[in-house]
A and B are shown apart, each in its own frame.
Chain A
Amino acid sequence: MLGKGVVGGGGGTKAPKPSFVSYVRPEEIHTNEKEATEKEVTLHLLPGEQLLCEANTVLKCVQEDSCQRGIYGRLVCTDFKIAFLGDDESALDNDETQFKNKVIGENDITLHCVDQIYGVFDEKKKTLFGQLKKYPEKLVIHCKDLRVFHFCLRYTKEEEVKRIVSGIIHHTQAPKLLKRLFLFSYATAARNSPATDPKKHAVMFDTLQDWCRELERTKGNMKYKAVSVNEGYKVCERLPAYFVVPAPLLEEDIEFFQGRGIPIWCWSCHNGCALLKMSALPKEQDDSMSQIQKNFSDRIYRTVHRPPYETAKTEDLSSNFLSLQEIQMAYSKFKQLFLIDNSTEFWDTDIKWFSLLESSSWLDIIRRCLKKAVEIIECLEAQNMNVLLLEDNASDLCCLVSSLAQVMMDPHCRTVFGFQSLVQKEWVMGGHCFLDRCNHLRQSDKEEHQRQLSLPLTQSKSSPKRGFFREETDHLIKNLLGKRISKLINSSEELQDGFREFYDGWHSRPPSYQGLLLPHLEGPEIKVWAQRYLRWIPEAQILGGGGVATMSKLLEMIEEVQRLQEKIEARHHSQEALQAEAASPPRTSGRLSSLFPFALLQRHSSKPVLPTSGWKALGDEDDLAKREDEFVDLGDV
């Protein structure tokens, strides 16, 4: 048997410390080579996708019950993905396959998903980039979705190693032209996308009507109007073709500073107050220019500060809130905690888990985002004020804060289509620079720091909703948001008191899921979103456990109730006919992992995972640790 007991085993806490690579020696390799050759796995290419290079007899190393296991296969690189073609997808049972990704297989890594590539040379791990002089024995790929792949190249022909390694490095690291992105060749090749029913579709906000409907839906149409002044992007390229501004605003005003300095409508609250955003006017040195700016601002200000408009509170996100650098730095520290190479690393970091987590500041950032959204809601709801979010380009923190506030206030945003529409409205149409923030074109590292901004949004929303739990979302959000926290930083005492009262008041009443939902902002409640972050770590899986266990019980019950409901209805329609209808068997949930549906095959057996390092000196408590539990009277003995 391959590798059983190569790493770990024994009395749990006494496992030998494996080196980082823990190679499987050739003679230990238990492969399914025979099966693999029998069942030739074919490469699935999307329309327009091209195979670029490949290598055979690559060994994919998987960790299982603290042993290394190897699977032979072919490693390929296309213009869309890196794929490993081996035969390790056998153990999927039906319940699990229904959540399989149809485009990206378990062993596929899209080129844009690659975060970092390492090579292992003589048991040493080095980052790989550019032209290589020496080719590694092993390739370790860290993905942006936190998967970690180990490909052993020892048994691969030398020229194939060269081809695949340099191919992968080139296609994942070299700067790319926008037009070379795979989606363009895909779109050309796969022309015939079927027309979709607009009712079963997220709102795209690419027509004037979409905006008008959103205005109607939120009853904002009395004071705000949709404008088409930017049709053809004549005024500004950053702004969408259509957007919404206060009704009295003139087209010239919008054109004056190319859409800067203009309050742009995001959303209207039930009491008529609105959430607005504005990109700042350019900083002017020239006195006359700044005078012009001042006059302009004053005029705009007068327009939106007189009835019917509520007084507006300006929230300057560029200067009084998180910086993009802070967010980026925190995330790069944070994600490192989940890119784990092996079991030893997992347990070594386990002991200091909480302080590692804290030092990344990520959870604190999440909390501050949530808190900012709650503060804005307090203004809108309790103080009946408009809130104007101000940011240089109004396309980063504005998107984040405004969409968070809407998720909390507007139950529509907690449905699947509503949430998709929100992302479309605030992020896509809101001009968030996804290309730069995600660095899809692999530009220089300078801009790296600007990435990952949309992550706080998804993290603070958590939730396994994507088509899985449908309207369950409403309930879940409360549950999940309810588990987030915030410490109370900043601003004036008075403001703080109002905020505190609003926040405490809301939490002292039973929540209505069809109304406002506020997250908990206190310390112990903000936790790591396990299903996203821990999903690929075998050690972190609880077989048959986690929230998934109750969720699947709930789903089973929903199905049962629906079945009964149909039965009753059927019985009313045809009284006699259905006497003998066979009851469809209830769906039995298999033993799912706590990280389902993300993690399917990570652990094959039900053996317990045992920490391999638990002991830690207690420091200041040492003297206590040495004491006897009881006073032992030696005479007794």
Chain B
Amino acid sequence: MASAPTSKYNSHSLENESIKRTSRDGVNRDVGETLPRLPGEIRITDKEVIYICPFNGPIKGRVYITNYRLYLRSLETDSALILDVPLGVISRIEKMGGATSRGENSYGLDITCKDLRNLRFALKQEGHSRRDMFEILTRYAFPLAHSLPIFAFLNEEKFNVDGWTVYNPVEEYRRQGLPNHHWRITFINKCYKLCDTYPALLVVPYRASDEDLRRVATFRSRNRIPVLSWIHPENKTVIVRCSQPLVGMSGKRNKEDERYLDVIRETNRQVNKLTIYDARPNVNAVANKATGGGYESDDVYHNAELFFLDIHNIHVMRESLKKVKDIVYPNVEESHWLSSLESTHWLEHIKLVLTGAIQVADRVSSGKSSVVVHCSDGWDRTAQLTSLAMLMLDSFYRSIEGFEILVQKEWISFGHKFASRIGHGDKNHADADRSPIFLQFIDCVWQMSKQFPTAFEFNERFLITILDHLYSCRFGTFLYNCESAREKQKVTERTVSLWSLINSNKDKFKNPFYTKEINRVLYPVASMRHLELWVNYYIRWNPRIKQQQPNPVEQRYMELLALRDEYIKRLDELQLANSAKLSDPSASPSSPSQMMPHVQTHF
């Protein structure tokens, strides 16, 4: 990977893949450097272009396109700019200008990326270079439209850790103390016959038979029946997830479904109510009746209390993120930053999601009752709520591997539609199915880690790396919509897991302040006073808003850690020397100043 003289710019991006610039000393240190390539990555073409950098103006460079990335190196002597962009991040490619427009930059390409930036290039009119670049980019950025494989299937990277082994559902449930005499593991969905978007292995009430499950499935949207996500180790209340009941306009009922929820309630005998959190706003839940959905009304589900959490749908979230981009890219809104930020509603949505998760966690933690969480289909808002509540309740998920398991379990195995929400390899940028739901979840995690800076084993870079590879298509981790599709495509055999990359290089992703505290419930404060825009992610392309990496407190702490280790070593040595000296009293001790390592930090 390129070693840029100003390391400052590296930390924000995908493993150094981003903009780098030398200081104005004019030395081009990147000459002779070759195009970085992953095993299995093939170079397709290269072109001379002008990169229209929104921050530093036009820069002449050479762009290389492979089947994985777009790589640009500056050809100007006073700039060491490098762009290294995985093609998977591209959402849209447009031609700008042409023969009729004037100016040297008239033959342009505008590339919209999923990670909140745009790349603009101007090409020469001669030799159809723009047409070539457009076609090649389109082909490799949107392989699905051209019957080409996604790069993850071509990637031949090898890591010394296999990320696919991180999550084993049986082990994870065993960690939670399952099965027990109220909950059993069922293989009813082994061939995805009960529910094609659920995982093969499910945890259900011991008292519910497989036949019951099948009947309940008919009454839940897309057969996503209520199943256990998490059980409290002490009070045994549970978090159960599902989709909406198919009540419809006529107010249909299903005895098995009603009994099933009651059975869930009864797994915990201390309480006589079951709490149902419907993630949607009340009005939307009512409106969903028109399309056959609905919610559990209390005159039918007597032993349940229903609360709406007012979290908006995927379309609202998509528009909100668009507005965020509008105020941060390329220029940060200056004159009315705060009110502009407010008008995006992004942090307001974050607040509602966190508030919902806090309520779920509090219900369970206080032992008040078990909780059922659903939205419409139970794969977007539901995944956000259950996984965030679990993160608040269970410190295991705050470790690096624990978090990977959480994502693997609540998101990937339970069928969050990554392929549809992200649009991997798909050219239809305007698809209404796309929505930044998972990004929103990671943002919530970041907000929590910001509020509790010692509670998470992983650092910000870990979260940003996950988000970068959510789009990159370098790993198989986030491909496809559900487990059955992944199995069909043999994803675990044919692709590399993102966790392989991370776990084979864990130190990079560790938070030095991490203090392991078992059984500590974390309740973030879901107030606008504390929520902030994640500048290091959303505004990371703007060189002016770069935060110091690492921050001074962290840097100081790392220095002290090193110093401590050094001293401990020295003490051990002294101890040895002492015992040696006891046998040889003639040796004179050296002065302390000679022996002491130089202390860099002053107190």
CB-based contact A522/B332 at 8 Å: yes
8 A Cβ contacts from B371-426 to A: 375-377, 380
CB of A475 closer than 8 Å to a CB of B: yes
Q: Tell me, yes or no, whether A523 is within 8 Å of chain B by CB.
A: yes
- A629 touching B377 by the CB < 8 A rule? yes
Is the CB–CB distance between B530 and A357 below 8 Å?
no
**Chain A residues closer than 8 Å to B520, beta-carbon distance:** 544
Contact between A550 and B454, CB atoms less than 8 A apart: yes
Partner among B310, B335, B539 whose Cβ is within 8 Å of the Cβ of A614: B310
- Chain B 447-477, CB-CB to A under 8 Å as 1, else 0, gives 0000111110000000000000000000000
CB distance from A489 to the nearest CB of B (A): 9
Q: Is the CB of B284 within 8 A of A625?
A: yes
Q: Which residues of B contact A616 (CB under 8 A)?
A: 348
Q: Report the count of interface residues on B (CB-CB < 8 A).
A: 107
Report yes or no: A350 in contact with B556, Cβ–Cβ below 8 A.
no
- Residues of A close to B518: CB separation below 8 A: none
Evaluate contact between B574 and A571: CB separation under 8 angstroms: yes
Q: Are A611 and B556 in contact (CB under 8 A)?
A: no
Chain A residues with Cβ below 8 Å from B313 are 624-625, 627-629
* CB contact between B535 and one of A347, A524, A572 (< 8 Å): that residue: A524
Partner of A479, one of B334, B347, B355, B548: B548
Alpha-carbon separation in the docked complex, A609 to B574 (Å): 52
Closest to A627 in B: B315
Contact partners of B21 in chain A: CB under 8 A: 508
A564→B571 contact, CB < 8 A:
yes
CA distance A609 to B523 in the complex (A): 8
Known: A530-B529, A534-B529. A628 touches B288 (CB 8 A): yes
A470 at the B interface (CB under 8 A) = yes
Please choose the segment from A31-39, A287-295, A552-560 that sits at the chain B interface, where 4 or more of its residues have CB less than 8 A away: A552-560
Contact A507 B525 (CB under 8 A): no
Asked whether any CB of chain B lies closer than 8 Å to the CB of A134, the reply is no
Instruction: Determine if B269 is an interface residue (Cβ-Cβ < 8 Å).
Output: no
Chain B residue at smallest Cβ distance from A563? B567
Chain A window 580-604, contacts with chain B (Cβ cutoff 8 Å), 1 for yes, 0 for no? 0000000000000010000000000
> What chain B residues lie within 8 Å of A479 (beta carbons)?
548, 551-553
Contact check, B319 vs A546: say whether CB atoms are below 8 A apart.
no
Check if B338 sits within 8 Å of A558, measured CB to CB.
Answer: no
Is B545 within 8 A of A621, CB to CB? no
Contact at A568–B571, with CB atoms within 8 Å? Answer: yes
Query: When the two chains form the complex, which single residue of B314, B339, B359, B525 contacts A541, counting CB atoms closer than 8 Å?
Result: B525
**B contact residues around A350 at 8 Å (CB):** 351, 527-529
Q: With both chains docked as a complex, state the minimum distance between the C-beta of B54 and any C-beta of chain A, in angstroms.
A: 15
Task: Tell me which residues across on chain A come within 8 A of B246, comparing CB atoms.
Answer: 637
Which residues of B512-557 have CB atoms within 8 Å of chain A's CB atoms?
A: 513, 515, 520-530, 532-533, 535, 539, 543-548, 551-554, 556-557
Q: Which residues of A lie under 8 Å from residue B533 when comparing CB positions? A: 524
Q: Decide: A523 and B454 in contact? CB cutoff 8 A.
A: no
A306 adjacent to chain B (CB < 8 Å): no
Residues A355-404 near B (CB distance < 8 A): 355, 357-358, 363
Q: Are B342 and A564 in contact (CB under 8 A)?
A: no
- Pick from B328, B455, B552: contact of A476, CB below 8 A: B552
Whether B578 contacts A547 by the Cβ 8 Å rule is: no
A636 and B221 alpha carbons, distance in the complex (Å): 9
Q: What is the bound-complex CA distance between A471 and B603, given in angstroms?
A: 7
A608: contacting residue among B352, B523, B582, CB under 8 A: B523
Which residues A609-633 have CB closer than 8 A to chain B? 609-611, 614-616, 618, 621, 624-630, 632
Q: How far is the CA of A136 from the CA of B160 in the complex (A)?
A: 74
Q: Does B596 sit within 8 A of A, measured CB to CB?
A: yes
Are A553 and B515 also in contact (CB < 8 A) when A358-B336, A508-B543, A621-B319 are?
Answer: yes
| Chain B residues positioned under 8 Å from A568 (CB to CB) | 567, 570-571, 574, 592, 595-596
A542 to B354, CA, bound (A): 14
Q: Which residues of B contact A511 (CB under 8 A)?
A: 548
For residue B545, which residues in chain A have a CB less than 8 angstroms away from its CB?
Answer: 520, 522, 524-525
* Closest beta carbon of chain B to A146's beta carbon, Å: 13
CB A59 to nearest CB in B, in angstroms, measures 28
Most buried by B among A470, A569, A608: A608
Q: Does chain A have a CB within 8 A of B58?
A: no
Instruction: Find chain A residues with CB under 8 A from B347 CB.
Output: 354
* Residue in A closest to B21 when the chains form the complex, CB atoms: A508
Q: Can you name the residue of chain B whose Cβ is closest to the Cβ of A567?
A: B571
**Interface-centre pick from A488, A513, A522, A636 (highest chain B CB count, 10 A):** A522
B377 contacts A630, CB within 8 Å? yes
Number of A-B contacts (CB under 8 A): 261
B564 at the interface (CB under 8 A from A): yes
Determine whether B169 belongs to the interface, using a CB cutoff of 8 Å to chain A: no
Most A Cβ at <10 Å: residue of B366, B453, B571: B453
Q: Is A607 an interface residue (CB 8 A)?
A: yes
Interface size class of A (residues with CB under 8 A): 35 or more
- Which one of A347, A540, A572 has the greatest number of beta carbons of chain B within 10 Å? A572
- Name the contact of B319 in the complex, choosing from A12, A347, A624 (C-beta under 8 A): A624
Q: Are A13 and B310 in contact (CB under 8 A)?
A: yes
Chain A nearest Cβ from B369, distance in angstroms: 12
- Are A355 and B338 also in contact (CB < 8 A) when A547-B453, A550-B454, A615-B310 are? yes
Minimum CB–CB distance from A321 to chain B (whole Å) comes to 18
Cβ–Cβ contact A564 & B315, under 8 A: no
Bound complex: CA A475 to CA B559 (Å)? 13
Report if A561 contacts B (CB, 8 A): yes
Contact at B451–A594, with CB atoms within 8 Å? yes
Interface residue ranges of B270-316 to A (CB < 8 Å):
281, 283-284, 287-288, 291-293, 307, 309-310, 312-316
CB atoms of A524 and B337 under 8 A apart: yes
- Contact between A524 and B332 (Cβ–Cβ < 8 Å)? yes
The listed residue (A558, A575, A625) touching B316 by CB distance below 8 A is A625
Which A-chain residue is minimally distant from B545 (CB atoms)?
Answer: A522
User: Are the C-beta atoms of B547 and A355 separated by less than 8 Å?
Assistant: no
Answer yes or no: A634 CB below 8 A from chain B CBs.
yes
Closest to A363 in B: B338
B570 touches A634 (CB 8 A): no
Give the residues in chain B near A636, CB-CB below 8 Å: 222, 292
Chain B contacts for A618, CB-based, 8 A: 312, 316, 345
Q: How far is the CA of A626 from the CA of B282 in the complex (A)?
A: 11
Please indicate the chain A residues that have their CB under 8 angstroms from the CB of B342 in the complex: 352-355
The answer to whether A13 and B355 touch across the interface, beta carbons within 8 angstroms, is yes
Question: Judging by beta carbons under 8 Å apart, are B571 and A508 in contact?
Answer: no
Q: Indicate if the CB atoms of A625 and B339 lie closer than 8 Å.
A: no
A624 to B433, CA, bound (A): 13
State A351–B333 Cα separation when bound (angstroms). Answer: 21
Taking CB atoms, residues of chain A closer than 8 Å to B564 are: 557, 560-561, 564
- Residues facing B in A500-522 (CB within 8 A) are 504, 507-511, 513, 520, 522
Considering the chains assembled together, what is the distance between the CA atoms of A547 and B452 in angstroms?
A: 8
Task: Write the chain B residue with the least CB distance to A501.
Answer: B24
A551 CB-CB contact with B under 8 Å: yes
The answer to whether B568 has its CB under 8 Å from any CB of chain A is: yes
Distance between A548 CB and nearest chain B CB, rounded to angstroms: 9
Are B525 and A542 in contact, with the CB atoms below 8 A? yes
Residue contact A509 to B23, C-beta cutoff 8 Å: yes
Alpha-carbon separation in the docked complex, A616 to B557 (Å):
42
Could you list 25 A-B pairs, sorted by A, with CB under 8 Å?
Answer: A13-B355, A350-B529, A471-B602, A476-B553, A478-B548, A507-B544, A513-B552, A522-B332, A523-B333, A524-B545, A539-B527, A553-B557, A561-B563, A562-B603, A564-B564, A569-B596, A575-B589, A609-B523, A610-B355, A618-B316, A626-B284, A629-B375, A629-B377, A634-B291, A637-B246
List of 4 A-B pairs having minimum Cβ-Cβ separation, nearest first? A608-B523, A523-B337, A353-B528, A564-B567
Please name 4 further chain A to chain B contacts, defined as beta carbons within 8 Å, in addition to the given A558-B560, A625-B313, A630-B377, sorted by A numbering: A355-B342, A550-B513, A614-B310, A637-B292
User: A-side interface residues toward B, CB under 8 Å?
Assistant: 11-14, 346-347, 350-355, 357-358, 363, 470-471, 475-476, 478-479, 482, 487-488, 504, 507-511, 513, 520, 522-525, 527-528, 530, 534, 539-547, 549-551, 553-554, 557-558, 560-562, 564-565, 567-569, 571-573, 575-576, 594, 606-611, 614-616, 618, 621, 624-630, 632, 634, 636-637
